[in-house]
Amino acid sequence: MTARSLQSAERLCKEKGLTFTPLRRQVYGLISADKTPIGAYELLDRLKKQRANAAPVTVYRALDFLQEAGLVHRIDALHAYAACEVDRTDHGGLMLVCNRCKTVTEFENPGLEQQIAETALQHEFHASEDLVEIRGLCSLCADIS
């Protein structure tokens, strides 16, 4: 799967009544161009090549926006951000995270999401919509280990 295009991200923001500013667009472009999730400071370094005055707060604000819009997920295991790869934006996301090459594969499984929600409910646990990260080795990395 691949991240949605800039045009599709733009359309999504418009549908939600959100403003896709040039800065947000740039940050999203940097995240979605990368095959592996990208950390905030790495993002800042790259952004500075386009905007010399970019500061950490600039990046964090844009990231907050992109996460809320459902365009980007924060991968806790890697302390990094990845572009969402599915069409729905109202989900926490299910992620396969490779410990070695750091690639992240997002997949959809409404049944699994439902089960997680039901399990939480049974325990009277209020689950947040955070994504589920499954860590391990991708097929390429498993082959060389």
Interface residues with Zn ion (CB under 5 A)? 84, 86, 93, 98, 100-101, 138, 141
- The sheet carrying 104-107 orders its strands as 104-107, 94-98, 132-136
Beta carbon of residue 113, minimum distance to Zn ion (angstroms, whole number): 11
CB of 2: closest distance to Zn ion in angstroms? 12
52-76 burial, b for 16+ CB within 10 Å, e for fewer? Answer: eebeeebbeebbebbeebbbbbbbe
The answer to whether the beta carbons of residues 96 and 138 sit under 8 Å apart is yes
Work out how close the CB of 101 gets to Zn ion at its nearest, in angstroms, rounded to a whole number: 3
- Tokens 């499984």 map to which residue? 109
* CB closer to Zn ion, 23 vs 138: 138
Minimum gap (Å) between residue 85 Cβ and Zn ion:
6
Q: Which helix (H) or strand (E) holds 32?
A: helix 22-33
Residue closer to Zn ion by CB (options 37, 93) is: 93
Residue with tokens 């939480």: 120
Q: For Zn ion, give the closer residue by CB, 11 or 51.
A: 11
Rank residues 80 and 84 by Cβ distance to Zn ion and give the closer one: 84
